[in-house]
Chain A
Amino acid sequence: MSRKRAYRSKMRILADMMRAIQSEGEDGAGPTKILYAANLSHDRLTQYLEELVEKKLIKEAELGSDNRIYFLTEKGREFLKEFVRMERFSEAFGIEI
């Protein structure tokens, strides 16, 4: 029996996006992959990707004129680890984040 998640906080959405990038490892993840994995609209995706790049949690690389790929930075990896710790802690008390 899994708990139905009705609402995702912004922090969780950012973490889901970063997890999608991390799952691709060294190859990095394209916007479409992140969009599907984090279940986002295109507008939201663009907005959050900009925010993550600005906060230096991910870095962007341009492969072609309209082809971008995203990688997790060291700061992003540390953030994700911390988020997982806090997620486990919160869920242990039944608190959704």
Chain B
Amino acid sequence: MQDGIFALIRLDLIFEIISGIIALVVTFYATKAYNLTGQKKLSDLSTGFLVLSAGMFGRVIGTWYFIIRYGIEGPSSELILSIVTIAYGASRIMAYLLFVVATRPARHRESLNNENMTGVSLLLAATILVDPNLEVIAILVLVLVVIQAIINYFSTRSRFALYVLLGFSLILLSHMLVAQTLVNPGLFLLSQISQLLGYLSLLVMLIKAGRVE
């Protein structure tokens, strides 16, 4: 039984590492685009993916160190694991909030960006203070990101925007599946697969967008 749980955790961590690497690649691209164009929203996008990948790698290191090394029944592993889980959940919410800001449809000149920063900072601070059910908050924020991705796809009809929409939708699905894990633990691995597919969709977008004839 213990071996089965460890195998599941290992598989989960492998998926998480791949997703984290893809998030880092997106960070790299967004930073490059920001350096070239000076568009502030690209900087927000880059920070969002960086926070996301940091959270993922933090979770991988935390889980590996305390569970794989010391076992589920190991010394104070329950407390450490809950800290890792909360930190991971908060980092994801912060990242999704940054995505909401970055992918918000533009109305006029980008000088507008500064006026919302106070509100964003408060929202970011609030995510650290919020403890109960981070997964539900992540779902609510991610729903906004997906709605903006839908609006963007229908206004541009670009296949690149479609990959982003698919990616964010699969990540949202993964959060919804995680929220159901208490009822059906079998959904946990499915949620990790859904998350991985979401990041792979973003990777496909990067590869296709990088091909210039």
Contact present for B155 and A3 (CB under 8 Å): yes
Contact present for B158 and A89 (CB under 8 Å): no
User: A54 in the interface, Cβ–Cβ < 8 Å?
Assistant: no
Contact present for B105 and A90 (CB under 8 Å): no
Which residues of the other chain, B, contact A9 by a CB distance below 8 angstroms?
A: 37-39, 110
Contact present for B161 and A1 (CB under 8 Å): no
Contact present for A91 and B156 (CB under 8 Å): yes
User: B173 in the interface, Cβ–Cβ < 8 Å?
Assistant: no
Q: A1-B155, A7-B109, A95-B103 in contact; A89/B37 too (CB < 8 A)?
A: no
Question: Quick one: closest A residue to B37, CB to CB?
Answer: A97
Contact present for A92 and B39 (CB under 8 Å): no
Q: Out of A6, A11, A94, which one reaches B148, CB within 8 Å?
A: A94
Within the assembled complex, what's the spacing in Å between the Cα atoms of A11 and B35?
Answer: 11
Question: Quick one: closest A residue to B205, CB to CB?
Answer: A92
Contact present for A85 and B106 (CB under 8 Å): no
Which residues of the other chain, B, contact A94 by a CB distance below 8 angstroms?
A: 103-105, 148-149, 151-152, 155-156, 161
User: Which residues of chain A from 66 to 97 have a CB within 8 Å of any chain B CB?
Assistant: 81-86, 88-97
Which residues of the other chain, B, contact A96 by a CB distance below 8 angstroms?
A: 39, 106
Contact present for B209 and A89 (CB under 8 Å): yes
Within the assembled complex, what's the spacing in Å between the Cα atoms of A88 and B45?
Answer: 15
* Count class of interface residues, chain A: 20 to 34
Residue-wise interface mask of A (27-68) relative to B, using a CB-CB cutoff of 8 A (1 in contact, 0 not): 000000000000000000000000000000000000000000
Q: A1-B154, A7-B110, A83-B36 in contact; A90/B42 too (CB < 8 A)?
A: yes
Q: A11-B36, A86-B32, A89-B29 in contact; A6/B109 too (CB < 8 A)?
A: yes
Which residues of the other chain, A, contact B42 by a CB distance below 8 angstroms?
A: 90, 95, 97
Which residues of the other chain, A, contact B156 by a CB distance below 8 angstroms?
A: 3, 91, 94
Within the assembled complex, what's the spacing in Å between the Cα atoms of A81 and B212?
Answer: 6
Contact present for A88 and B37 (CB under 8 Å): no
Q: A94-B105, A95-B39 in contact; A89/B110 too (CB < 8 A)?
A: no
Instruction: Name B's A-contacting residues (CB within 8 A).
Output: 29-30, 32-33, 36-39, 41-42, 45, 102-110, 148-149, 151-152, 154-158, 160-161, 163-164, 205-206, 209-210, 212
Instruction: Name A's B-contacting residues (CB within 8 A).
Output: 1-3, 6-7, 9, 11-12, 81-86, 88-97
Interface pairs A-B: 5 shortest CB-CB? A94-B152, A92-B160, A88-B209, A86-B33, A97-B37
